Structure 1
Amino acid sequence: MFAAVFAIAAFLILGMVRHQVGHYAHKAMQGSLTSETATLVAEKPADLPDEIRQRVEATKGTSFQYLLIDRQGKAIVGGIPQDAAHEGWGSVMMREHPATMDNPEGPERLVTLGTRLADGSLLVVATDGYDVDKLGGHMVRFTILWAIAITLIALASGWMAGLIFLKRIGAANAAIERIVAGRTEQRLPMIGLAPELDNLARNINRMLDRIDGLMEGLRQVSTDVAHDLRTPLTRLRQMLEAAREATGREDTDAGIDVALAQADQLLATFRAILRLAQIEGGGRRAPFAPVDLDGLLATLIETYEPVAIDAQHTLAADMAADAMVNGDAELLAQLFANLIENAIIHTPTGTRVSLVAERAAGQIRVIVQDDGPGVAAAERERITRRFYQVDPSRSSGGSGLGLSIASAIVTLHGARLAIDDAGPGLRIEVSFSEWPGGASA
């Protein structure tokens, strides 16, 4: 758009220059004709034919040509066609006229000025319009060529400016993507193309500083609460254990056992809160390394197969060969452990749970799927929220943080989490970029 406006403006300016130059050249030509005519009119009428003959001989092959006609319309002297014999300004085509020094190819057009003399005769003075016409043609070509050149320059400049702008914006966009991915310490670089854009980047960075401070405060509060409450709960549990050993009564022991179970669940919730705060804060990002996903999943299957049997579930697995991803092995183990536990705990007896790892188009997909009752579409968007449970009575147990932690681990690894209907059941798919050192598909 900028290049088009620039080109149109340049074309208009060059057109005005061409018009002004052509107008000046035409006026100069008329001035020379007027001056030559005035000189001849000043001659005595009787001497004028001889003066014109002398001038014709003297100016042969140059620019001026003449015609003198008596009052009866008979040509006295001169070689201009009589159809140019009229008063005032005019022009006549002279395609067959001999070449001149100024126009070797022969004049195309003569510009004429006719003047009625005192004795009734008509004096016509003409000059070759070739130079003016040629100048006009040159100016037209000059205007077109320069308009094209300026347009190309404008396009090239706009393209280069666009590349620079896109590069600077790309750097800012990359920083935003890193912030969205959880690296909240990142800030936008100064764009440098305009003060307004740099002011915008500075204000966004100030906003990010403020948000980061608020989030850090929130994480600190969660951590402090978890730490402060975990200590008295641990002491309470120890006291309950001591009381159970001291009493030896079955009814008291049963009540204490319930209290111990509740204390254990509270402690597990606080451990999960601390773990989630650590993951979301990026504290586990640095030690990433290639992880053998096949071996990790095989170990989890071996671990959870007895759990599934106790719950009267079926646990099946189908592993891809040499599936390698870049990440934290401990966090990845917790991710898939949470997904397997979620499928076992929140489905009825007899449910089949499958774990599939497959490679496709540079991606490694791990799918945990069950054929249980599934989760309603409206609920699927919420089950990764903290403390959210589909069962409003929370009768299935758990803290409501398992899928929140799983989602945070997925985000930390730059992977993608998809929760869909398995028809019947629930399908949770985690997609990783394949580690380049892994086997090719």
Structure 2
Amino acid sequence: MTRLFRSLSFRLALTYALLFSLSVGLLFGAGYWWRVVRPMADVRATVEAEAGEVARIYRKSGIAAARAALDRRAHTAAARVPFHVLVAPDGEIVVANLPSWPPRPARDLSVIEADKFVDGFEIDHSAFVRDRAMPDGARVIVGRDVQDIVDDEDLLRTGALWMLFGSLALGITGGWLMSQAIGKRIEAVVNTALQVMEGDLSGRVPVRGTRDDFDRLCATLNLMLSRIETLFEAVRRVSDNVAHELRTPLARLAGKLEVLEHDLGEEFRGDPAARQAVAEAIVEANRLRAIFAALIRISRLEGGRATVHLQRTDVVQLLEDVVEFYQPEAERRGIDLVLDARRPLVADLDLDMVFQAMSNLLDNALKHVPDGSRVDVRAGRQGAELLLAVADNGPGLSPADLARVTEPFYRAEGSAGIPGEGLGLSMVAAIAQVHGARVVFSDNRPGLSVVLRFPVRPL
């Protein structure tokens, strides 16, 4: 329900329904004034004048004159049937053509029932009357038939209520239908955007062929996505070509430096500086080769060109191997490296890729925590997901760094002097992507927590 009220189309439809109801209300109000208020005001003025005249005659000439005046009034042709009652001071009814009346005089004009029986049938009448008490105790009631006005009032009120509820019901129903129809089109755009965000640049928004505004928007978005895909592929090809073209010369350079170091070993013995320079050059060449190899692999993973070999994997054994590989480094620095994973825990994974992803996460944690810290490696199931996590109690990352930490070559503030090229977490994100997994970074309070959430089939 909350989502429905957040829908712009539903709120617009509801607003239009309310405006329509208000317009209808104004029209009914005008009709009510014309058919009820205005004629009732005319009747009020007439009845007040007639009641005042009869009371004046009674005070001046007595009860007989008042009765004669009422008889003349009753036989005078008029648009509305006259009603009257004259009660003597002793309570005797002198004259009356009303079937009943209130036991006590009212302070103001009022509408009372004045039904009549003709040939055994009851005819509805309503009288708008002025009930006046004379100083000597006599009572004069003068009125006119207003049944047509009462009928119009009932009809207008009933019609207004039905129109109000009907317009609101139609507005809410129409708003729901509109929100569903428009929501499906918007959902298609959102799903395509999410598909592109996940790296699949081939995603396109469905076009229905109705040539409406949504079709125009979808067609424009598709043209934009096609252009982005073309440009991105061009950049990717250039990057791949550069990486491939440089990888071979770098391999040759590293090989020649190693040969040079071996062949000129005797000469270098007397020149430690030269020997150190060649050794550093070899290390740097190998580092560049590793960078280009990582870039090529990330590009292949993100472009969907990497082959994923899914196999039934013992997740606990995989993590034990990763922890065992880094345990010596952790012990050397006094870091408490803890594995929390219980068998049985199996899933369909690419063993080599996930091993590299967890190795990158653990390597990243060990690089950024001070000696004597704690690093936890955890695994478990949560619903239909497999969770692999690495958490530490180091300095952690700022919110700004968390938003960009998977970008290639991004280095968080304060990481100067720490070994690495800023590609490890990019590789983790790419490996997660090809598995359909999510990478969740959060504050471990203190430190950083990274969780890989893999979708898994029920066992």
- Which piece of structure 1 moves more, 347-356 or 221-230? 347-356
AA at the equivalent of 1:195: D
Q: Does 1:105 align with 2:123?
A: yes
Match of 1:92 among 82, 88, 104: 82
The Cα of 1:345 is off from its aligned counterpart by 4.1
Q: CA deviation at 1:3?
A: 2.0
Indicate whether 1:5 and 2:28 are aligned.
Answer: no
Matched, 1:276 2:266: no
Task: State the match for 1:418 in structure 2.
Answer: 441
Q: Distance in 2 between matches of 1:210 and 1:422?
A: 43
Under a length normalisation based on structure 1, what TM-score does the superposition of the two structures give? Answer: 0.68
Q: Percent identity?
A: 25
Measured against aligned partners, the alpha-carbon deviations of 1:268-305 in whole angstroms (never above 9, x if no partner) come to 00001111212222334976676543232122223333
Provide the C-alpha distance between the structure 1 equivalents of 2:199 and 2:25, rounded to a whole number of angstroms: 53
Residue 202 of structure 1 corresponds to which residue in structure 2? 219
Q: Within 2, Cα distance between the matches of 1:420 and 1:247?
A: 53
Superimposed CA distance per residue, residues 35-59 of structure 1 (whole angstroms, 9 cap, x where no aligned partner): xxxxxxxxxxxxxxxxxxxxxxxxx
Cα separation, 1, equivalents of 2:181 and 2:313: 39
Residue of structure 2 in register with 1:300 after alignment: 322
Match of 1:155 in 2: 172
Q: Relative to structure 1, is the Cα distance of residues 106 and 398 closer, same or farther in structure 2, using a 3 angstrom cutoff?
A: closer
Q: Which amino acid aligns with 2:359?
A: A
Say which of 392, 405, 419 aligns to 2:427. 405
Q: Residues 191, 263 of structure 1: CA spacing in aligned structure 2 closer, same or farther, 3 A cutoff?
A: same
Distance 1:376 1:179, change over 3 A: closer
Q: For residue 239 of structure 1, what is the aligned residue in structure 2?
A: 256
Separation in structure 1 between the aligned mates of residue 24 and residue 308 of structure 2, nearest angstrom: 57
SS state of the match for residue 99, structure 1? Answer: strand
Letter in 1 for 2:266: R
Compute the RMSD of aligned alpha carbons: 4.3
Query: What residue is the counterpart of 2:104 in the other structure?
Result: none
AA in 2 matched with 1:339: L
Equivalent-residue separation in structure 1 for 2:120 and 2:206 (angstroms): 66
Partner of 1:437: 458
How far did residue 360 of structure 1 move? 4.7
Residue 415 of structure 1 aligns with an amino acid whose one-letter code is: R
User: Residues 128-187 of structure 1: CA distance to partner in whole angstroms, max 9, x if unpaired?
Assistant: 875675466345434433443343233222222222222332232222222222222212
Quick one: distance in 1 between partners of 2:28 and 2:310? Answer: 64
Q: TM-score, normalised by structure 2?
A: 0.65
Q: Closer, same or farther in 2 for the Cα pair 1:183/1:104, shift >3 Å?
A: same
Counterpart position of 2:189:
172
**8 Å contact 1:7–1:147 — kept in the other structure?**
yes
Distance 1:147 1:364, change over 3 A: same
Count of equivalent residues: 372
Q: What is the aligned counterpart of 2:279 among 242, 254, 257?
A: 257
CA distance in 1, matches of 2:242, 2:183: 46
Mapping for residues 6-405 of structure 1, pairs under 5 Å: 6-13=20-27, 82-84=72-74, 89-93=79-83, 95-96=98-99, 98-100=116-118, 104-105=122-123, 107-108=125-126, 130=147, 134=151, 137-138=154-155, 140-190=157-207, 195-249=212-266, 251=268, 255-284=277-306, 291-306=313-328, 308-309=330-331, 314-324=336-346, 327-347=349-369, 352-360=374-382, 364-370=386-392, 374-375=395-396, 377=398, 380-381=401-402, 383-389=405-411, 395-405=417-427
Give the Cα–Cα distance (whole angstroms) in 1 for the partners of residues 24 and 211 of structure 2: 26
State the distance in 2 between where 1:392 and 1:329 align: 33
Q: Residues of 2 paired with 1:314 and 1:179: CA distance?
A: 41
Kept in 1, the 8 Å contact 2:316–2:345? The answer is yes
For 2:415 and 2:452, locate their aligned partners in 1 and report how far apart those are by CA, in whole Å: 32
